[in-house]
Structures are given as C-alpha cells and as structure tokens.
A = this chain, B = another copy of it.
Amino acid sequence: MGGNTREAGRSTASRVLSLFAAFSSVCPVLGLTELARASGLPMATAHRLAGELVAWGALERREDGRYQIGLRLWHTGALAPVHRDLRSVALPYMGDLYEATHENVEIGVRDGSQVLCVEKMSGRHSIANATVVGGWLPAHATAMGKVILAFAGPDMVADVLANGLDRFTPHTITYPETLSHTLRQVRENHIAFSLEEMTIGVAAVAAPVFGPDGDLVAAMGVVVRATANVRALTAAVRTAAHGVTRQLSSAPLPPGENMS
C-alpha cells in the first residue's frame, strides 16, 4: 500500500502524520528542507505531500515559501472534546475567576507526564507567565501540575519521577519525598500552590475539576505575582473549580451536541 519508494516500510498515514509532527511551538514555521528532515521523508515526498496538505487547508504556504499549520487543521482540532466540552463548560467560570482576580486564569489536563494547557484568560496587566494554550507545563513545578499529579494515580507520579524533577528555580521541588508529601496535602485539601517554583516572581494556586464518575478531568487555577496573597485566592479558585465539576455532572451532553 505504501508504494515502492525508499520509505516503503512506512504506512500511508504515518507519512502524513510525520509532517504534522514536524511542527512544534518552538518550530511553528518550516521550510521544505526542514520539513523533510524533521519528518524523515525524502524531499520529493515531503514536497508532494505538503502540497496536498496545503490544498486541503491542513497546512498553509507563506509568502516566503515556508509552511505553517493551516486554518482547517485548527478548526478540525477544535472539534476535540477537550476543546468542545471541557473548555465550553469551564469558560464562564474562568470568566468569573478572571473578574475576581484580573490575573491569568488557566485550565489544563493531563497529557502523559505533563500538563497540557487547554485555555488561558488574561488581561493586559496580568503577569507574564510560561503558559501557552496548547503547550505543555511540567507537572511537579506548577500548581495545575501538582493537582493533576495528586489525583491522576501512581503511574503518572512514577513517570514524572523517572523523567527527573528538573529544577527551574531555587524553589522547585526536586526531592521525591517532598513531592510525595506535597501531593498528599493536595489530595487532602483539594488545593495546590506553586510559590516561585516554575518562574521567579510568579505564584499560582489550582484546584481539581472532577467528572461525573469522580475521576479527575482537569486542573483550574490562577497565576499571579508572587507578591500577591496567593492563599487568599484559595476560596475563589475552589469555587470556580467546583462550579465546573458540578456543571460537568449535572448536564451530560448528548454525544454530538454542542454547548455554546
């Protein structure tokens, strides 16, 4: 099925997917040579496939001849449940939290051993932080990450420990025992903090969002200046996360129904 070129062993779909995988938040724009190298495809194959993806709208060709992810792939990705369901339910509660704090309000889900940020709301005066929607955050150094780690189960903790607890600031938790102790507190109190553990000058507080079956679905939190009274935000963050949990339980969507 794969044709008789030198990538004959690769499946039909894998060559298309390898082109998508070449793009990242570090390299969102790629020339043909970079695209071929990153995808492991011969130049001619990469060129032909990229042309088909451009014609469909999955990629766009810029005026400088380089490629970027296209509008239609963005639209298609937005059909994922994490966007359609979780984000739609959470957004009004994030709005409430934003009004109460005027700071960065974020929601994230587990993706392997990391946190994938699903939505972020911030104002012009909110403190700049590391979170990008669609980007990943380390689990052990962020408030959302600690919430997810605390409730995701031991396999995620094992993965995170196996990857090593990278030190981002002098305040990052780097001892497994300290992390275990912290996660136990998060499980008890349903709240997690990051006090300059990811970025100096930045603090965060996050709370868990549960699904109708009681499993953790997401973590929701606020990122503020380290000089702010982050503990005073606990009630607001808990309230908003409870609101999303309640909404997820009370209004199960008929499959195929959109919420907005």
Contact = CB atoms under 8 A, between A and B. Distances in A.
A168 interface: no
A225 B69 CA distance: 36
Nearest to A18: B56
Contacts of A211: none
A12 B69 CA distance: 19
A98 interface: yes
B28 A84 contact: yes
Contacts of A16: 12-13, 16-17
Contact of A58 (B17, B74, B102): B17
Instruction: Tell me whether chain A's interface is mostly helix, strand or loop, or mixed.
Output: mixed
Contacts of A129: 260
A198 to B, nearest CB: 14
Contact of A77 (B11, B74, B116): B74
A78 B134 contact: yes
B132 A260 contact: yes
A237 B41 CA distance: 47
B120 A260 contact: yes
A24 interface: yes
A20 interface: yes
A208 to B, nearest CB: 19
Interface stretch (A89-97, A153-161, A171-179, A199-207): A89-97
A105 B182 CA distance: 39
Nearest to A111: B71
25 contacts: A12-B15, A13-B53, A16-B16, A16-B17, A23-B79, A25-B84, A60-B80, A66-B255, A69-B80, A69-B81, A71-B82, A73-B80, A74-B78, A74-B83, A75-B77, A76-B77, A77-B78, A91-B122, A95-B98, A95-B123, A95-B126, A99-B102, A121-B121, A128-B260, A135-B260
Interface of A: 1-3, 5, 11-17, 20-21, 23-29, 49, 52-53, 56, 58, 60, 66, 68-71, 73-84, 87-88, 91-93, 95-96, 98-99, 102, 109, 111, 116, 120-124, 126, 128-135, 255-256, 258, 260
